[in-house]
Structure 1
């Protein structure tokens, strides 16, 4: 068995693999935190990573974990083959290799074929650039604004230009779907971040094997001085990458529907960056949205300050497997208005610690905004219940424990 005693646990080596694919967000934070907390539990993890690392997270990762650069499996070349052979030999020294969220699909397939060890997938979501039409009805072609930068980050500009050209775009996506399906069926075990993701994975890949659920979690005990100049609770907060799935357009429409006197006293602050940022800002100007603040990526200190100072959070992502923003906000006693699609709704109990809304219905969203703006007592009560639920069921410790429980099932 994977673990037979507390004493043996101390020698268990776990390799955590993650490609950030050009962005740093919740998935990247969770991969690092899972490694740190596995180490605190007495295991011996190493993180194999490639992608951006903000200075504060880079310091945490390198001071707590042994870090390795994770190569890509494409395009084929002598250098690529040598890197893969070296990686495989290194990974064979581990008891478990944990693919965390996502890695290059060619590398993932290669490992399922040539790595003869326990290979586990902690699935945050299937690759959206391949399967978005199955998740939300948006065609892969419509996602080109995010697919192209991601591919360029992984494989370079020249390769991306060829395989995502008008002629080869469709065949390239179809090839990757075949590779992705074969890979999913070869994993020793799959762990997912929500029951929603569990259903998606079973349907998408035709899997009948047992799939475990381990929600991502927040890290408690963050104490930071306020460093944002807004008065306490005078704004609504939305955080997320500027990509189609995050649904910022519906957020703007809902906020714009608020009566003028509401908007004059409660700002909308949107934090995030990405390929759609320019388009979203232009749309806001065209709609005449006032009292709106855009911010690019912020550091952890600034993020904590925003959570402390905002009135509540709005998170309208479309079919998102699980979003950390409402959980993080709950740590600071803030309720959330959350999409009733996807996995994040599994945290919200409607009318108790937040509201669930149709993310495409701006009237529904605006009405719940008005409710929380009007009733400060209700907002505070919901925020307290959100915090209690987050601390009880959605901490990074709980998340790590659930992953270890799933790994115990390995033979």
Structure 2
């Protein structure tokens, strides 16, 4: 039977994961846990035997109220909009209530109780010693004027630190004075993540197995703002589910097939780190992180003993017409490669990355279909080199529906 790639099913999966009920799918939140349960049901629907495994995730940064920022100097008054004009810095100490202080520039003599406008964190030690109110450091925006959200990074410092949009930071530096009122309700939490694993068939003794992976967690909504996480990585999850559905009836019986939908990637790829040491040695791992906008080609990163996997992917890219380019893919694939498994990460764009603009309508159906075709054909090509050849579908036989 000719395999059919369903564009409508792919888009439906993306829309479902980006919906309000999952609230950005941050690890350890009710929305994230609900998304995991929904995905377990999707795996069962394609015939997988489903298990979950839990793991602790420490050091997650959590905004528990919308932060505030305002600056006044003479007749100039600027009230910042969170993620447009200012955002949390990951080293910031918690500042629950607004704090008001005069503005000081980096070469000012007196910093006590003042908000220090600094080029970077290099002055943090002096600011702490002198009792500054906090630091204001510059940060750029994406092409659409957003400051993307992150939830894991360096250790928390002793002072509130606010990232101010570069243009506003420059304006404040030119003025060199004024009054700043700001809050940063940002705490560090420890949560429990949960991976969702689906096994469609176990490999026969001495035969290869294939593991398809994608992380389903996002950075989570802000207290008063949605971050749908449609590209990163609802799109990759949709591709893995669709590819697993297509591959299950096509692979020879002795070739293993499993799909792992991973939690905690945005907090340091914790789900993959927890899972990778338990994966059967020699399993081929294909990880999809972002399949929203192909552009000039898919970024590919190989790790571990991935020569055969990379050769299959390269040939398949030529045959399916999907351009491939070497590119950094700092995602779950690196955890599997570090565990000694042949692993490849594939990425096809993330418009609106980790901002409120990362909506389901920006995920291209054509890119989802292209990514699915690439994954399916690569796995089938790998199977050709295993015991018992199978007939590979021609690139045009991986039909698109919807």
TM-score by length of 1: 0.31
- Between Structure 1 and Structure 2, the one with more strand by share is 2
User: Does 1 or 2 have the higher relative contact order (CA < 8 Å, sep 6+)?
Assistant: 2
TM-score by length of 2: 0.32
- Between Structure 1 and Structure 2, the one with more helix by share is 1
